[in-house]
Amino acid sequence: NFMLTQPHSVSESPGKTVTISCTGSSGSISRSYVQWYQQRPGSAPTTLIYEDWRRPSEVPDRFSGSIDSSSNSASLTISGLKTEDEADYYCQSYDGSNWVFGGGTKLTVL
């Protein structure tokens, strides 16, 4: 079964840039689109990135997504960090018709 691995936690200071990785267990991460979701404490998830790098219109361009085939990884980069970015972040892709989620990364902005 295809799995996605994320770091358990990352931390960075306000105004800085942070990158969260999402590594595929087998095959090519490029074979299916990757999405990224943000979940603030006590709230439902929201979509930050879809189809590897596309942003919904309401998501600021501080958030960007990319794919690195050489490392079989997807990445979410957040620039100009704000305290409100403190949240859990999940990557998601597909195993056939089934969704697969990464385990989530807790971002601390301090």
Which spans of this chain sit near other proteins (rule: CB under 8 A)? 35, 37, 39, 44-47, 50, 56, 88, 90, 92, 97-104
- Shortest distance, CB of residue 63 to other proteins, whole angstroms? 14
Nearer Cβ to other proteins (15/56)? 56
Q: How far is the CB of 19 from other proteins (least distance, A)?
A: 20
Closer residue to other proteins, CB minimum distance, 44 or 110: 44
Beta bridge partners of 50: 54
Q: Using an 8 Å Cβ cutoff, are 92 and 23 in contact?
A: no
> Does residue 5 sit in helix, strand or coil?
strand
Q: Where are the strands (E) in the chain, listed by range?
A: 4-5, 9-12, 18-24, 35-39, 46-49, 63-68, 73-78, 87-95, 98-101, 105-109
- Cβ(65)–Cβ(34) under 8 Å? yes
> Minimal distance in Å, beta carbon 101 to other proteins?
5
Name the residue nearer to other proteins (CB basis): 16 or 40.
40
Q: Which is nearer to other proteins, 18 or 34 (CB)?
A: 34
